[in-house]
Amino acid sequence: MDVHSLITRRAAGLSTTLHRVVRVLLIDDDETLTAPLAAALATLGHQVVVAADGAAGLGGAVDTAPEVVIVDLGLPDTDGVDLVRRIREASEVPQLVLTGATDPARRVQAFDAGADDYLRKPFRLDELDARLRALARRPGLRTGPGLIHAGDLAVDVAAKRVTRQGEEVRLTPIEWRILLALASAPGRLVSHRALLVAGWGEGYGDRETLRAHVRTLRAKIGDDAAAARYVRTEAGLGYRWIGGEEPSAARDAVAADESSAPPVDAAHAQLRHDLENALTALEVSAFVLGPAGAEAGVSEAARASALKRLPDVATRVRELVAQLLPVSPR
Amino acid sequence: MTTVLVCDDDDDIRSLLVAILGSVADRVVETVDGGGALRAVEEHRPDLLVTDRGLGGGIDGLEVTRRVRSMPSPRPRVLLLTGRRADEDVEDARAAGVDDFLGKPFRVPELMDRVRALLEIGPHIG
């Protein structure tokens, strides 16, 4: 086992008592990925079901009641984007897609089909873990037939009427369609393109116009982009309805969940922080000095500087690992 | 012209970030602490602020984000780099106005993807 894996396992062991358990459905045919990934997620305390193909994944998304579905877009027997769409038609479960090479168009397609978040392979386990927990914590809406309640807002779908604290909110038709597209998909990321289609129709509108309408809509429903209660901006991707979530209440709930967790040793926490920084420096150094750095256009001067610093960076990692994992006496 | 401001008190990470982000932005400005970040935002009007959460000097990355959010438009997007990934930490970052976050240690392609996405959307206006 390499040092990095050892550290990950060590960190995972520390984290188990602090993290929320998430029921995860992992849809991927590559056993060399699914076996260690499922084991690693289980180590973090999550419950993982693996589906090896699209058909099993689609069934599992309904039958196993996952809190989050992970879909590899590179499935050989199924179009990953189509699978995301079919799961979305069958379920409101949050979906995180794993993408391969840089392919922004493919990612946008996945979001249009109903994906909520993405990670590019290879990814870090703790990055995936954090995003799974964030997706699983999405707030629900209290809904009745044709009526959506969220915070101070009531949206009567049939009557096309919105009230805020009982007072009618007057929306333009476009604002209404944007609001409906968002509030009908609580917790899900709705892409710019999907909102443009909802507001103006296929082929019309642009992001700047959309941004202006969302800004006006927020003002009318009493929302603030910097401290969103209803519409959260997902940079570069779209918007997400968070339905009147009260951050402080959510924090209280998390705190209550974790009230029985033992306190993390302060010195150990500092050591972890230092090690995370040292590993970050090592990771970025490897990129800068490798072919990917040259390909990305990193300058020769920057590469020379990184090379000069590399021994110190490696020493930092070695010393911190020695502190975290002392050698046992033989 | 796109400008990225990098704020990290770790010299190794900061200099490396400046090196790699120079390939996706026209200009990269760096600073080591929160106070410097706030001054640099006013002086250089960056499109994106990439900041560590834990900074020396009494103003951490979240406080920098809050203060930047109250500045006149256009305000930079904020990408927070953090090792603190418990649920309430993510919640705090969102509440402070962070646009995206990435855990340390991160994969460089993941960082580059998210930086490109934030530069594409441009600064907060209005």
ipTM of predicted assembly, 2 dp: 0.74
Angstroms from A203 CA to nearest CA on chain B? 19
Q: Count how many residues are written for chain A.
A: 330
Cα A147–Cα A152–Cα A153 angle in degrees, nearest 5: 35
Given a contact cutoff of 8 angstroms between Cβ atoms, the answer to whether A91 and A63 are in contact is no
The size of chain B, in residues, is 126
The first and second tokens of residue B28, run together, are 């990269």
Mean pLDDT of A21-37: 86
- Give the minimum alpha-carbon distance from B35 to chain A in angstroms, rounded to a whole number: 21
Nearest partner of A159 among A180, A187, A139, judged by Cα: A180
| Backbone dihedral angles phi then psi of residue A85, each to the nearest 5 degrees | -65, -40
Q: What CA–CA distances, in Å, run from A127 to A38, A114, A123, A304, B8?
A: 15, 21, 7, 30, 20
CB contact under 8 A, A296 and B23: yes
pLDDT reported for residue A138: 61
For chain B, percent of residues with pLDDT exceeding 70? 96
Q: At what angle do helices B108-121 and B11-21 cross, to 10 degrees?
A: 60
- Please work out, in degrees rounded to the nearest 5, the angle formed at the alpha carbon of residue A169 by the alpha carbons of A171 and A246: 110
A268 touches chain B (CB under 8 A): no
Higher-scoring residue by pLDDT: B125, A269:
B125
Q: Is B13 on the interface with A (CB under 8 A)?
A: yes
- Distance, in Å, from the CA atom of A28 to the CA atom of A50, rounded to the nearest integer, reads 7
Measured between its terminal Cα atoms, the distance across chain A in Å is 19
Q: Give the list of residues 6+ apart from residue A256 with CB closer than 8 angstroms, or none.
A: none
- Per residue in A157-172, pLDDT tens? 767 788 888 888 888 8
CB B51 within 8 A of CB B9: no
Taking a C-beta distance cutoff of 8 angstroms, is the pair A239, A233 a contact?
Answer: yes
Give the DSSP letter of residue A235: T
Cβ distance of A305 and B99 shorter than 8 Å: no
> Would the CB atoms of A293 and B10 count as touching at under 8 Å?
no
- Going from the C-alpha of A303 to that of each of A85, A294, B29, the distances in angstroms are 43, 9, 18
**Distance between A243 CA and the closest CA of chain B, angstroms:** 15
Which helix or strand (DSSP H or E) is residue B106 part of? none
**Segment A24-37 mean pLDDT:** 87
pLDDT band at A83 (very low <50, low <70, confident <90, very high): very high
Distance of CA A91 to the CA centre of its chain: 18
Better-predicted residue by pLDDT, A143 or B35:
B35
Q: Across residues A33-57, what is the average pLDDT?
A: 86
The 3-class secondary structure across B19-82, one letter per residue, is HHHCCCCCEEEEECCHHHHHHHHHHHCCCEEEEECCCCCCCCHHHHHHHHHCCCCCECEEEEEE
